[in-house]
Structure 1
């Protein structure tokens, strides 16, 4: 596909909610939604899509994906967890997300764990992942072009093979993530971790 670099640019893959984007003061739900909408506006597939809604946040709270909110105000830690949930939900089930975050939520509440340090590590890894992704997409694009015969419909065939290849890679990563979720669920914290 000739315009693969433009496609990568249009994806706005470097868009991520950073610790600097999150205010130090606690926010009400509408403010949290506005923060996410303004940050991720450029990543929406359609202009009518919602990044985050009250229903989503309420479902995350009911599902105990993050520790309870006090006085209807969301702390910086809540917002970091909601951001992680936002990223995880595109590949994992809500149940898998809960399994992944239960121990972290307990650590934040019971041990006064510094979530911001973990979140900054996530930010660093996300930046590297975007770089790796761009390199990988260019390589896959070259491999696909080499597979497609030169005929009148080769652009469509390239696009179709790219869709299939990207979907396959996404499935491979999702399966690996699910396997790690299962390991977390099968290995509860030891008594000295609680």
Structure 2
């Protein structure tokens, strides 16, 4: 059974694993979120492909960090509505900003507000606004899909 969208919220940054985790743990964490939204699950092959496409760095010793978890989760959400080239540009901009936690929080809050059909307070910077628009797009897609099913 899927989660009511009005109650859905991505995990807070602080609740994501602080210690590196293995691939199976990463998949379990991400797929739990995707299942709640009735989205396709992520596989090992997909994660390896994301590494090859430079969406994020290679794991160290086959262990993935919190940043990896966030990247896989966000790519999985965005790819329902955006081309991989667009996602790649967004990920690169976020990495260059060196504010992964802040940018994840912006996405998380904008997605939750959109799903709850509340207004999203506008970010003041261009990257923040782009992140919010992307989250709103994903949220609107999910709401539309649910309304039509």
TM-score computed with the length of structure 1 as normaliser? 0.53
Question: Which of these two proteins has the greater Rg computed from alpha carbons?
Answer: 1
Hey, what does 1:116 align to over in structure 2? 101
Flag the 1:104–1:42 CA change in 2: closer, same or farther, 3 A.
closer
Distance across 2 between alignment mates of 1:27 and 1:41: 20
Q: Deviations over 1:61-108 (max 9, x none)?
A: 11111123222111111111111111111011212211221232344x
Distance across 1 between alignment mates of 2:9 and 2:103: 18
Unaligned segments of structure 1, at least 5 residues: 1-9, 108-112, 134-168, 171-194
Q: CA deviation at 1:37?
A: 2.5
User: Does structure 2 conserve the Cα–Cα contact (< 8 Å) formed by 1:19 and 1:120?
Assistant: yes
Q: Deviations over 1:121-165 (max 9, x none)?
A: 2111111111228xxxxxxxxxxxxxxxxxxxxxxxxxxxxxxxx
Hey, what does 1:144 align to over in structure 2? none
Distance across 1 between alignment mates of 2:87 and 2:59: 18
Hey, what does 2:21 align to over in structure 1? 27
- May I ask how many residue pairs the two structures share in their alignment? 118
Q: Deviations over 1:42-77 (max 9, x none)?
A: 3326xxxx5111011011011111123222111111
Distance across 2 between alignment mates of 1:120 and 1:93: 22
1:127 to 112, 122, 142: 112
Hey, what does 1:72 align to over in structure 2? 62
Distance across 1 between alignment mates of 2:28 and 2:61: 19
Q: CA deviation at 1:35?
A: 1.1
Q: Which segments of structure 1 move beyond 3 Å, counting only runs of 4 or more? A: none
